[in-house]
Structures are given as structure tokens and as C-alpha cells.
Amino acid sequence: MNAEELELKRASLSALASLLNLTVLPVIGFIFLLFLYKQTQAQTIGRYYAVLGIKINLAAAIALIIVTGLMLLLGGFYSPWTWVFVISYFVFVHALFILVATWILVRSWTGKKLTTTFL
């Protein structure tokens, strides 16, 4: 495999790791992602997707863990209304992150960057 093919492979692996971290392998997926980031060279497609994956997962961590934590803290653990918001919010926003990561995975397979980037 030449350098370019290697970076393409790292790109799709990074996108996969980011999706896994959001779904069935939380934390482990992220460690794998950091590991991939270290392997990639600057200015390559591999680096682009590794960075994108890290950003997405950090954003997800804030939106899911920190925001839910705050909701629990402010709303109180023993109020039904807290749980109404926490569970609906968590499920819905989590699903949106998964969908975005899925689109990124599909893009990484073509070896192109995203056409619009939010992060």
C-alpha cells in the first residue's frame, strides 16, 4: 500500500471509530481514534477525518454528558419532569449524532471531504 492509500484507509477507519464511539464502543472507540490521529500525517485526508471524528465526539460528549448532567443537577433527581426532558433529549440528540457520523463515514469511503462543515 502506498502512502495515499494508507491515508485513505485511515480516513475511513477514523470515521468508523468515531461512529463506534457514539454507539457500541464508547471510550474504546475514542482511544482508537486518538491512536489513528497520531498515525496520520498533516494535510492528508486521513488527518482530516481523524480530526473531524475527534471534534464530533467532543461535541457529542458536551451535548450528551454535560448537558444531561446539568439538566439532572438543575432539575433534581426525583422529579418526573427532569426525566421527561433528560430521556427525550438524550435519545433524540444522540440519534442525531449517530446520523451525522454515519454520513461522515459514507463520505470517507469516497475519499472526499465534506462539502459543508459545521465544526
Partner 1 sequence: MKYESQGVAKLYFIAAIALFVGQILFGVTMGLQYVIGDFLFPEIPFNVARMVHTNLLIVWLLFGFMGSAYYLVPEEAERELFAPWLAKLMFWIFLVAGALTILSYLLVPYARLAELTMNDLLPTMGREFLEQPTITKIGIVIVALAFIFNIGMTVLTGRKTVINLVLLTGLVGLAVFFLFSFYNPDNLVMDKYFWWFVVHLWVEGVWELIMASLLAYVLIKVTGVDREVIEKWLYIIIAMALISGLVGTGHHFFWIGAPDYWQWLGSVFSALEPIPFFMMTLFAFNVVNKRRRDHPNKAAVLWALGTAVMAFLGAGVWGFLHTLAPVNYYTHGTQITAAHGHMAFYGAYVMVVLTMISYSMPIMRGQKAGNIKAQVVEMWSFWLMTISMVFITLFLTGAGIAQVYLQRYSDDPLPFMVVQEKIAIFYWLREAAGLVFLIGLILYIYSFFAKGKEVEFVEG
For residues 71 and 85, which CB has a smaller minimum distance to partner 1 in the complex? Answer: 85
Kindly state the smallest distance separating residue 41's Cβ from partner 1, in Å: 25
Q: Which stretch binds partner 1 (CB under 8 A): 5-13, 28-36, 58-66, 82-90?
A: 82-90
113 lies in the site for partner 1, by CB under 8 A: no
Q: Select from 3, 58, 62, 110 the one that contacts partner 1 (CB under 8 A).
A: 110
What does the chain look like in DSSP terms, one character per residue?
A: --HHHHHHHHHHHHHHHHHHHHTT-TTHHHHHHHHHHHHSPTTSHHHHHHHHHHHHHHHHIIIIIIHHHHHHHHH-TT-HHHHHHHHHHHHHHHHHHHHHHHHHHHHHHHT---SS---
